Chain A
């Protein structure tokens, strides 16, 4: 399946292991990634806060580039998904507004057409369940993650608000990460923080609010017996992994639980090695997870 692939800024920035692991996993899923390497930042909610016309134009530009490939669009970032869905909702709502936004794209020879029929912008998580299918995913598993206890962490932007994230058509999207973990043979761990906020958006503005959130969710996952977290959002990953040593101070306890990216978890089950998935590029070391996976391979 060919997809117009939007990796986002963070997967090519501070979480290079996400970009790398997605590239490694794609062939295992028969995904042909046509990378949108001329597309721009989604705005991550911040440009929307600054100027709506600007953010809608920037994302219309990305959509137009994706549509020009003739394929649907895929992202690997909950935040990109949410920020872009917000713009797409406005662009699709009103033809006059869309025409005004498209006028900004005209000098570049681009144009966003209202998404009709099959053209969609979907996070890898949604693609896995809706386009590849859990049965197919299960069939491709060569190393079932038996005994690996994975705590799902969705990221706000992919679960709320349901009104503009396609939940009318796909009402169980807020369970997909659990479904995928189970399909890969792992155990999905239930804990309080799975659908809560990692705190990343306020890390520069309200650090205590931010890291208390990250710390609590990590602690809840540890207390529920998780070996690791898995997230489809690299921004959540940054607050939960990169900031984890700092977060310990805000919850006054030791943490130390690895936070994997979704393609890393999928890749492990599809037979890729931790190194190929960039699992050495984590602040909280992943060696316990790697050891468990190695034992699986040996078994």
Chain B
């Protein structure tokens, strides 16, 4: 910042900033007081680059030491100070006062701070992580389950095979994704983004011998991988770009694509039905999606299998409503036009599906702008057909939702990440924890 803004007290032209008054509205609650929760208004004088956590700690030091918040490193590493600021789940130490007060959703520049969502409040800004987050993490068996006797020394794995799981290893367990999760808001039993991202960390680990069992367990659980409503809230709030929802999609991909796990939640059926219908028609034949999903991808099965029929029957009133409203005509329910060039779409499906491996570009590893701003013409297509160097094969990498923090070179290097995290989290101690 190099401009002066009197209203926000932003930086002066020479780069130094000056303290200004920030208005905070903090949610407070003390179960021992017998009082209900209330808002406390604060006015804190600090430089705009200082964090929301700094402001809260200043209030504690100067005004009321009974205000409760967890914190430790104050550098977005320990994951202790997760709160909601202006409705968004994030780390208080990682959110600048100046930015928070200027957000459109802050209203009149007041910074609203609340405890995280989806977890019970213990006091003020402290939530019960044990009751929700850690319990759910335990649920996914968060340690290695290798086969056979442990090796004499450490397990040796090629660095490339760990790249795929580096993103899920970056989790600092701050709970921001749990707080923001919209599926958990509707279904508190949902295993949730943090725990499922952790599950992928072991599903994707070549040393683990229970891959299929883990996937089957998470696919069959009605609150497992198919209970994720695909809302991107966890991706948006994660301070470490773990993109938990993307890890859940990888779990689904592994469950259906690699192991063909036909779960009773219709996860397999829905994916198969959707993909098959687009492969056949080019656009979605919506009226076949439901029965095919219920029939594990098969229209015939949907009409002979008792559990499929039961689900179809339960959908009957909705179908009637669709027909009655005129949204769905009887013709449309039965017949769907193929695209004019459907042969081309079919060819694309065949080319990709016959490859025998899934190619994925992992933007978490390669960054989201490999060619920088001054893009040249595309290189010769045939030369790059194998995608070497940029494109990781199955088990080598997956899709990534978000780029790592700009300007943090260590984040760009997947191998380093794997090494670092491997030392921290994947050592024999973890295997031994079983």
The answer to whether the Cβ of B233 comes within 8 Å of any Cβ in the partner chain is yes
Q: How far is the CB of B341 from chain A (nearest CB, A)?
A: 5
The answer to whether the Cβ of A245 comes within 8 Å of any Cβ in the partner chain is yes
A267 contact set on B, CB distance < 8 A: none
The answer to whether the Cβ of B138 comes within 8 Å of any Cβ in the partner chain is no
The answer to whether the Cβ of B229 comes within 8 Å of any Cβ in the partner chain is yes
Q: Is the CB of A199 within 8 A of B326?
A: no
- Contact (A93, B366) CB under 8 Å given A47-B274, A107-B344, A160-B235: yes
Q: Is the CB of B232 within 8 A of A89?
A: no
B402 contact set on A, CB distance < 8 A: 161, 163-164
CA distance A99 to B390 in the complex (A): 11
Q: Is the CB of A243 within 8 A of B286?
A: no
CA distance A50 to B390 in the complex (A): 20
Q: Is the CB of B370 within 8 A of A95?
A: yes
Encoded as 1 (CB less than 8 Å from any B CB) or 0, chain A from 1 to 40 comes to 0000000011011111100000000000000000001111
Q: How far is the CB of B304 from chain A (nearest CB, A)?
A: 19
Q: How far is the CB of A114 from chain B (nearest CB, A)?
A: 5
B135 contact set on A, CB distance < 8 A: none
B209 contact set on A, CB distance < 8 A: none
Q: How far is the CB of A208 from chain B (nearest CB, A)?
A: 7
Number of interface residues of A (CB under 8 A): 84
The answer to whether the Cβ of B318 comes within 8 Å of any Cβ in the partner chain is yes
Q: How far is the CB of A201 from chain B (nearest CB, A)?
A: 4
B270 contact set on A, CB distance < 8 A: 46, 204-205
CA distance A97 to B263 in the complex (A): 33
Q: Is the CB of A93 within 8 A of B183?
A: no
Q: Is the CB of A206 within 8 A of B378?
A: no
A51, A99, A162: which contacts B378 (Cβ < 8 A)?
A99
Chain B residues numbered 199-245 whose CB sits less than 8 Å from any CB in chain A: 222-223, 226-233, 235-236
Q: Output the nearest chain A residue to B286 by Cβ-Cβ distance.
A: A13
The answer to whether the Cβ of B122 comes within 8 Å of any Cβ in the partner chain is no
Chain B residues touching A, range: 35 or more
CA distance A164 to B243 in the complex (A): 13
The answer to whether the Cβ of B57 comes within 8 Å of any Cβ in the partner chain is no
Most-contacted residue by chain B among A14, A49, A281 (CB, 10 A): A49
The answer to whether the Cβ of B327 comes within 8 Å of any Cβ in the partner chain is yes
- Contact (A99, B380) CB under 8 Å given A51-B353, A94-B370: yes
A46 contact set on B, CB distance < 8 A: 270-271, 274-275
The answer to whether the Cβ of A295 comes within 8 Å of any Cβ in the partner chain is no
Chain A residues numbered 99-152 whose CB sits less than 8 Å from any CB in chain B: 99-100, 102-104, 106-108, 111, 113-114, 116
- Contact (A90, B328) CB under 8 Å given A45-B230, A172-B104: no
- Contact (A161, B232) CB under 8 Å given A94-B370, A95-B375: yes
Q: Output the nearest chain B residue to A250 by Cβ-Cβ distance.
A: B186
The answer to whether the Cβ of A69 comes within 8 Å of any Cβ in the partner chain is no
Chain B residues numbered 346-383 whose CB sits less than 8 Å from any CB in chain A: 347-349, 351-353, 355, 358-361, 363, 366-371, 375-376, 378-383
The answer to whether the Cβ of A254 comes within 8 Å of any Cβ in the partner chain is no
The answer to whether the Cβ of B290 comes within 8 Å of any Cβ in the partner chain is yes
- Contact (A206, B222) CB under 8 Å given A104-B352, A164-B402: yes
Q: How far is the CB of A74 from chain B (nearest CB, A)?
A: 18
CA distance A246 to B321 in the complex (A): 10
CA distance A111 to B379 in the complex (A): 13
Q: Is the CB of B327 within 8 A of A283?
A: yes
A47, A102, A210: which contacts B275 (Cβ < 8 A)?
A47
CA distance A94 to B378 in the complex (A): 10
A89 contact set on B, CB distance < 8 A: 363, 368
B252 contact set on A, CB distance < 8 A: 49
Q: Is the CB of B391 within 8 A of A97?
A: yes
Q: Output the nearest chain A residue to B293 by Cβ-Cβ distance.
A: A204
Q: Is the CB of B349 within 8 A of A54?
A: yes
- Contact (A242, B186) CB under 8 Å given A95-B370, A197-B231: no
Most-contacted residue by chain A among B275, B287, B388 (CB, 10 A): B275
Encoded as 1 (CB less than 8 Å from any A CB) or 0, chain B from 300 to 328 comes to 00000000000000000110011011111
- Contact (A202, B228) CB under 8 Å given A99-B379, A163-B403: yes
Q: Which of B4-12, B64-72, B77-85, B277-285 contacts A (4 or more CB under 8 A)?
A: B277-285
Given contact pairs A51-B358, A161-B232, A199-B186, enumerate 4 new A-B contacts (beta carbons under 8 Å): A40-B345, A48-B249, A96-B390, A100-B359
A-B contact pairs, 20 of them (CB 8 A): A14-B328, A16-B326, A38-B340, A50-B256, A61-B344, A61-B345, A95-B375, A95-B378, A96-B384, A96-B387, A100-B384, A102-B378, A114-B378, A197-B233, A205-B226, A205-B266, A209-B186, A213-B186, A242-B321, A246-B318
The 3 closest A-B pairs by CB, nearest first: A160-B232, A197-B231, A9-B284
